[in-house]
Every structure is written in structure tokens, then in C-alpha cells.
Amino acid sequence: MVQAGYVRQVMAGVYDYLPLGLMVLNKISNIVREEMNNIGGQEVLMPVLHPASLWKQTGGWDKIDVLFKMKSRIGKDYALAQSNEETVTPLAKEWIHTVKDLPLAIYHINWKFRDELRSKSGILRGREFLMKDLYSWHKNQQDFEIFYQKAKQAYLKIFKRMGLKAKATEASGGGFTEKLSYEFEVLTDAGEARILYCDSCDYCVNVDDIKTYQEGDLCPRCKKDKLQPAKAAEVGNVFDLGQKYTKAFDFYVVNEQGEKIYPIMGCYGLGTTRLMGVIVEKCNDEKGIIWPEQIAPFQVYLINIPGSGVDGKAKKIYDELMEKGIEVFWDDRKDVSVGEKFSDADLIGLPWRVIVSSKTGDKLEVKKRTEEKAELMDLESFLKLLQ
Ligand code: ATP
Ligand code: MG
């Protein structure tokens, strides 16, 4: 990604997202956004700079080791968002007063900061990274469970839309709660999670959490295959937070009987920058990246081979494709050899490469990134292929 100009490292765990990289991120975010809106999530934008008081109120100030803490010049304490329970709960409390106001689901896609000890896996583990975090509140456990399942399905759909197959584990809730949670894992050697998985079904467990199973054990779900070890990247998770945060912020609602109840809260994280890295880990060959169409920054890599009339022809093709709403990246560099353009096309990894030259007459030379052979066709046929 660095070589192809998607990102630039500023320091370990901190990156610039360059024009192509930002386009990919925006595509990922838009898929996430659509699916979160589909389950009733409302998008907001919360701050990353938090007063220490909120984190002291939940105990996170002393307990969370990755929390970045800062002092202002007049000695006031602040924290940088490592997650947003501490701001979203007081926010919901301000608007929600009776059970009739529930359920509620709020999310944002914003920077998170974590003092990770090791940040050696590129954008897979940032000290500053983007996360989509959704939070929900419910009048009772049953209502929460229904939404929780919906969120889980939405997550599986998101990963599928990005061309990824994610396995849903059941894991303990870690520092948050003792309740169950789901982790979504994508098998890749670049990941840091160690899992045992079943090839015949979706079953998978995190090795750190579930000591009951060992490599070679029969899959407890489908009982067809043996559990195999693998490395995986956690691309998302959902937690049942119970009443931990609603109690910490004294966020209660009044029910039909006029009694005070503390809503049940859930949180649903998804690492958008990590996802971008995971997709690259899964979709590449020795020449470079192979973006799935849905999140490629552009669909077409257009190259014009110097020759008489070619520039004009390429311009016409570019305009016509753009007019049809096709995203075209036109490599019109004058000082670069054709061979270099070809290797950059492979490295950058757009789904289609289109060449215009004086030899091809009215036709285009079209090649899919995943295929070796190019084909000659007219613009009409290419447009049909794209559809
Ligand atoms: P991990 O075990 O990888 O540290 P986590 O359990 O700390 O993850 P959460 O706090 O649940 O993760 O955050 C939600 C999601 O945010 C994760 O599923 C992951 O996709 C992403 N994420 C977490 N930490 C990072 C990081 N340092 N860099 C990039 N993405 C991250
Ligand atoms: Mg972590």
C-alpha cells in the first residue's frame, strides 16, 4: 500500500491516507454506513478529545492501559477517544427519558487513539485508526438480544459486500463485561489473533478465550470436521455491555409503571482502516493489489500508448466512461514508460486495465486485473461487461 501510494507512514501505527487510500476508505465507510442505517442506526460525529472526568466516572481512566492521557497548559486532564462509551452514554441520557424513547442506536465513524505496545502490522494495528462504533440502548434484555442478532447479521453482510468471508466467534467480553460477545475474524497470516476454526461450517473460537478446545478436536457445531489452528485478524466485534455504562452515568428511563430502569446497552465496533489492510492481505498477487470492485478507488486504469491521434482518442474514451458514471483513473503521465505504467496498473490493482493505442483502431484493449489475457473490444461491449 505504501509502494502503490495508498498510505504513508508518519510513525509506527500512524499513517497518512493519500488520495487513493482515502477513496478506498470512503467506499468501505459507505458500505458500513448503509448497513448501519439499515438496522436503524443514526449517524453522528462525536469528539475525540474528552474531559478526563467522563473516564474517571466509568473507571476507565485508571483501568484502560491503552488510553492516551493528556494535560492542558493549565493542568487540566484530557483523554483521547479509545472508544466512545464515555461520550455517547451522556449524549443519549440527555434525550432519552421514558421507555417509549427506546430503542435507540447511534454510531459514528471516527478516529480512535490507543497506546498499543507494538504497532508492527502496518494499518492493521494503528495507534490512531478509524473505527465505526455503534451503540444501542434497550428497555430489556429481550429487546437487546433481537437487535444484537440484527447487528451480527449486518456485520456478516458488510464483510460479504467487501468480498471477505468472516467467521463469527463467541468470546468472553474481555474488560467490558463477563457477558458473551461476538468477534468477527478473517483468516489471514497477517492477523494477530489465534483461532481454531472449522472448514465445514462457520464455527471458530479464539484460542486465548476458550481453552476447552484443542487442535484436532471435532467441531462442536457441525461435528463434520476437525478444528484447525489459524491466524486471523479481528475486523469487528459486538458486546453486550449490560447496564455498566447506563448505571455509571445514572442514565435511567421511566417505564409504563412509573419505575426507574437502567437501559441495556450494546456496543458494536468495526475497524475500517484495519479492514482496508485485511482486504489487501487477502486480495493480492506478486504484482500488487487486486481490489474487489465494490471498494476499488476507481474501476478502470486507462493507459494511452504514445502514437498519432491516441491522446485525443483516450480523452474521448475517458469522457465517455466518466459520463456513464464509471470511475476512471487515467495514467496520462508523459515522462513514464509504457512498461512502468503496466506495472503500476498491477500494483495499484484496479479491476480493469484499458489500453488505447494507434494499433487498436477504434477498439480498446481490455484486461481484467485477475486475468492474463487482454481482449480487443469496442466501447459498447466494454460498457456491457462493466454492467
Ligand atoms: P484487538 O484484539 O485487535 O486489539 P480489540 O478487541 O481491542 O482488538 P475493540 O476495542 O473491540 O478491539 O475495537 C473494535 C474494532 O476496532 C476491532 O474489532 C478492530 O477491527 C478495530 N481495532 C481495534 N484496535 C485496533 C488498532 N489498534 N488498529 C486498527 N484497528 C483496530
Ligand atoms: Mg486491543
Mean pLDDT, residues 339-344? 97
- Integer CA distances (angstroms), 248 to 51, 59, 63, 176, 240, in order: 16, 9, 15, 13, 15
Q: What are phi and psi of 176, to 5 degrees?
A: -75, -50
Lowest mean pLDDT, pick from 61-65, 124-128, 175-179, 346-350: 175-179
pLDDT at 73 over 90: yes
Output the pLDDT for position 75: 97
Mean pLDDT, residues 216-234? 93
Respond yes or no on whether the N-terminal peptide bond of residue 263 is cis (omega within 30° of 0).
no
Task: Please state the three-class secondary structure of 130-148 as a single string.
Answer: EEEEEEEEECCHHHHHHHH
Ligand 1, pocket residues at CB < 6 Å: 83, 114, 116, 125-126, 129, 131, 234-237, 269-271, 273-274
Q: What is the mean pLDDT of the chain?
A: 94
Which atom of ligand 1 is nearest the CA belonging to 270?
Answer: 15
Closest among 128, 123, 152, 130 to 1, alpha carbons compared? 123
Dihedral angle of Cα 84, 90, 92, 96, to the nearest 10 degrees: 160
Mean pLDDT, residues 252-262? 96
Task: Report the nearest-CA residue for atom 24 of ligand 1.
Answer: 125
Q: Set out the domains of the chain in order of their start, with CATH numbers.
A: 7-285 (3.30.930.10), 300-386 (3.40.50.800)
Rounded Cα gap, residues 374 and 369, in angstroms = 10
CA dihedral sign of residues 182, 295, 7, 187: positive
Whole-number Å distance, alpha carbon 241 to ligand 1 midpoint, is: 17
**3-state secondary structure (DSSP) of residue 221:** coil
Task: Report the nearest-CA residue for atom 13 of ligand 1.
Answer: 269
Amino acid letter for position 166: A
- What string of DSSP letters covers 306-339? SSTTHHHHHHHHHHHHHHTT--EEEE--SSS-HH
Rounded Cα gap, residues 368 and 353, in angstroms = 6
pLDDT above 70 covers what percent of the chain? 97
Mean pLDDT, residues 194-220? 87
Which atom of ligand 1 is nearest the CA belonging to 126?
Answer: 28
The band of 249, judged by pLDDT with boundaries at 50, 70 and 90, is very high
Output the pLDDT for position 172: 56
Lowest mean pLDDT, pick from 38-52, 263-277, 304-318: 304-318
Whole-number Å distance, alpha carbon 292 to ligand 1 midpoint, is: 23
**3-state secondary structure (DSSP) of residue 149:** helix
Length of the chain: 387
Q: What is the pLDDT of residues 290-302, one digit of tens each?
A: 999 999 999 999 9
pLDDT at 221 over 90: no
Task: Report the nearest-CA residue for atom 17 of ligand 1.
Answer: 236
Mean pLDDT, residues 146-175? 86
Closest among 348, 350, 352 to 377, alpha carbons compared? 352
Ligand nearest to the backbone CA of 111? 1
Whole-number Å distance, alpha carbon 287 to ligand 1 midpoint, is: 29
Whole-number Å distance, alpha carbon 275 to ligand 1 midpoint, is: 10
Rounded Cα gap, residues 289 and 306, in angstroms = 26
Output the pLDDT for position 179: 66
Whole-number Å distance, alpha carbon 211 to ligand 2 midpoint, is: 20
Which atom of ligand 1 is nearest the CA belonging to 119?
Answer: 27
Output the pLDDT for position 173: 47
pLDDT at 240 over 90: yes
pLDDT at 370 over 60: yes
pLDDT at 176 over 50: no
- What string of DSSP letters covers 55-76? HHHHTHHHH-TT--EEE-TTS-
Whole-number Å distance, alpha carbon 48 to ligand 1 midpoint, is: 16
Q: What sections of 162-271 are H helices per DSSP? A: 244-248
pLDDT at 33 over 80: yes
pLDDT at 218 over 50: yes
Which atom of ligand 1 is nearest the CA belonging to 269?
Answer: 14
